[in-house]
Amino acid sequence: MILYFSATGNSLAVARQLAERLNEQVMPLTEAVQQDLTNEKRIGLVFPTYDFNLPPAMPEMVARLHICPQSYVFTVVTCGSMVGNCIWVLRRILRKKGIELAYSHKVSVPDNSALAFGRNPNKQLGKFEYVPARMEQIIRELQAESHTLHYSWFSLLSWLLGRPAVTRGMIHCMGPKVNPAKCIGCGICAKVCPMENIRLQPQSGLTDKTYQVAKTGDHCTVCLACVHACPQQAFTTNGLQTRKERQYRHPQIHLKDLLLR
Ligand SMILES: Cc1cc2nc3c(=O)[nH]c(=O)nc-3n(C[C@H](O)[C@H](O)[C@H](O)COP(=O)(O)O)c2cc1C
């Protein structure tokens, strides 16, 4: 079973390819926490790097998983370039459950956080050129049930940047906010939010008519799924209005693939 967490499809595309080649099934991590996975002999965790660490919501979700300690547990982390502490943090969480992480590797893909700053994710599509070779290596090694943790960057800087306090600061700065004047109440943001953190609420406008607008809550994990999926570019991140040309989704993933409800 391949469990995934994905806001813009990079991790979902990797999870799907692994599932196809390893003859496994895929399941969103948000759903997996409610399942009994103790009969699964092989469990893969595919997710993105956030701020050199796991997505803030992931430690709790992984801790809640029902998996057999004898399962072959592996991870493939997607990232813009550096996974920082991800693999070590995940290994520590799994160890607390009596599970040893057998294998890890990373796949570098367009950085979806760059929509608010830095390079446009849609101008990083050249990174996909290197993905097939990396995926072939990963599949080969997983088929052989390799016990190898591939990692490339673990340093004081990534440790410092991956501290919970820094992550909280990042959520505060990057956390998406809705501009009610642009929201048309389509609800796509609420459907892609893995945290069920967005609700539509009635709002009174300048006219008497009441209309629905999206409102974010307190459980944001800064995946930016809502920001990338909004057809009106109604979200701000870092206080900056989203620009359409910077909204990103993995080229082989459709919006409907990312709708969680
Ligand atoms: C809040 C946030 C922080 C990120 N931090 C990092 C990072 O520290 N290092 C990195 O290489 N990529 C970083 N990224 C980029 C994502 O890890 C990358 O684009 C990932 O493939 C997105 O996966 P998804 O499409 O499955 O959501 C970050 C993305 C977000 C949204």
Assign residue 196 the CATH number of its domain: 3.30.70.20
Nearest to 151 by CA among 189, 106, 119, 109: 106
Is there an atom of ligand 1 within 6 Å of 17 CB?
A: no
Does residue 29 sit in the same domain as residue 130? yes
In the reported structure, the alpha carbon of residue 61 is separated from the centroid of ligand 1 by a whole-number distance in angstroms of 18
Give residue 98's pLDDT: 97
Low pLDDT (below 50) residues in the chain: none
Give residue 95's pLDDT: 97
CA atoms of 193 and 205, how far apart (whole Å) = 26
Does residue 117 sit in the same domain as residue 225? no
Does residue 161 sit in the same domain as residue 182? no
Number of independent structural domains in the chain: 2
CA atoms of 227 and 230, how far apart (whole Å) = 6
What's the pTM value of the predicted model, to 2 decimals? 0.95
Is there an atom of ligand 1 within 6 Å of 158 CB?
A: no
Given 169, 188, 211, the domain boundary residue is: 169
In the reported structure, the alpha carbon of residue 31 is separated from the centroid of ligand 1 by a whole-number distance in angstroms of 21
Give residue 210's pLDDT: 64
Does residue 78 sit in the same domain as residue 180? no
| Most informative mutation of 78, 113, 163, 250 for ligand 1 (most atoms within 8 A of CB) | 113
| Most informative mutation of 11, 111, 158 for ligand 1 (most atoms within 8 A of CB) | 111
In the reported structure, the alpha carbon of residue 210 is separated from the centroid of ligand 1 by a whole-number distance in angstroms of 37
Give residue 105's pLDDT: 97
Does residue 159 sit in the same domain as residue 60? yes
Does residue 154 sit in the same domain as residue 68? yes
Is there an atom of ligand 1 within 6 Å of 176 CB?
A: no
Q: Which atom of ligand 1 is nearest to the CA of 12?
A: 26
Does residue 104 sit in the same domain as residue 87? yes
In the reported structure, the alpha carbon of residue 206 is separated from the centroid of ligand 1 by a whole-number distance in angstroms of 39
Give residue 108's pLDDT: 97
| Structural domain span for residue 31 | 2-169
In the reported structure, the alpha carbon of residue 118 is separated from the centroid of ligand 1 by a whole-number distance in angstroms of 13
Handedness of CA 152, 252, 127, 5 (dihedral sign): negative
pLDDT tens digits along 125-182: 999 999 999 999 999 999 999 999 997 666 677 777 767 777 777 777 788 999 999 9
Does residue 207 sit in the same domain as residue 97? no
Nearest to 189 by CA among 238, 252, 239, 255: 255
Give residue 156's pLDDT: 72
Does residue 103 sit in the same domain as residue 197? no
